[in-house]
Copies of this chain bind each other. A is one copy, B any other.
Amino acid sequence: MEANSLIQTLNNITILSPAIQQEIKLHLIEERFNRKAIILKAGQVSQRIYFIKEGFIRAFYQKNGSDYTSWFMGQGDIIVSVYSFFSRKPSFENIQILENSVLQSINWDQLQQLYKTFPGFNLTGRLITEQYYIKSEERSIALQTLTAKQRYDALLLAYPGILQKATLGQIASYLSIKQETLSRIRAKV
């Protein structure tokens, strides 16, 4: 089995039967995307759920004329605009490639078909959603209980190469501070 593939990642969550694996492989497509490409635009309904085989990506939304980064995601992560993909409503967020990436994906209809054909596959979907829920909760806790400097340090720890991939403006918006503030935090060592 190929390293860093979606199938392998799913198998690490819970073993999939050969039949499901076969069916997933049948629909999975692999694509390359270049830096700065937008793979989901706000206003569109998210149609595909992606797996990052290689690369670095962010999700962001705009409000009151500013950008807010929701997430950074790297190799091995599953990315999707949860709200739009699952509710089938227009997305409020954009998904943007930050470094040339190789993504595997399947579309909504195919995923629903998988759930229908293999009810037990809902277990995988549920576990992934639980994991992402916990991540989201951790983010809220960090925003409430850590200083801006501590959040910055934690981000660098989680994504060591991030300074080469994202701009300080993007990072600041993820940390919930202004770029000037981040610049001053960095200056102070």
Binding site for B on A (CB under 8 A): 61, 63-64, 68, 70, 82-83, 86-87, 115, 119-120, 122-123, 125-126, 129-130, 132-134, 136-137, 139-141, 143-145, 176
Contacts and interface: CB of A to CB of B under 8 A. Distances in A.
A47 B114 CA distance: 31
Name A's interface SS. Answer: helix
Contact of A122 (B70, B82, B87, B122): B122
> What's the number of copies of this chain in the assembled complex?
2
Contacts of A115: 123
5 contacts: A83-B134, A122-B126, A136-B137, A139-B140, A140-B140
Contacts of A136: 133, 136-137, 140
| Among A119, A132, A133, residue most surrounded by chain B Cβ atoms (within 10 Å) | A133
A170 to B, nearest CB: 14
Contact of A125 (B86, B122, B143): B122
Contact of A143 (B87, B126, B137, B176): B176
Contacts of A133: 82, 129, 132-133, 136
Given A119-B119, A122-B119, A136-B137, A82 B130 contact: yes
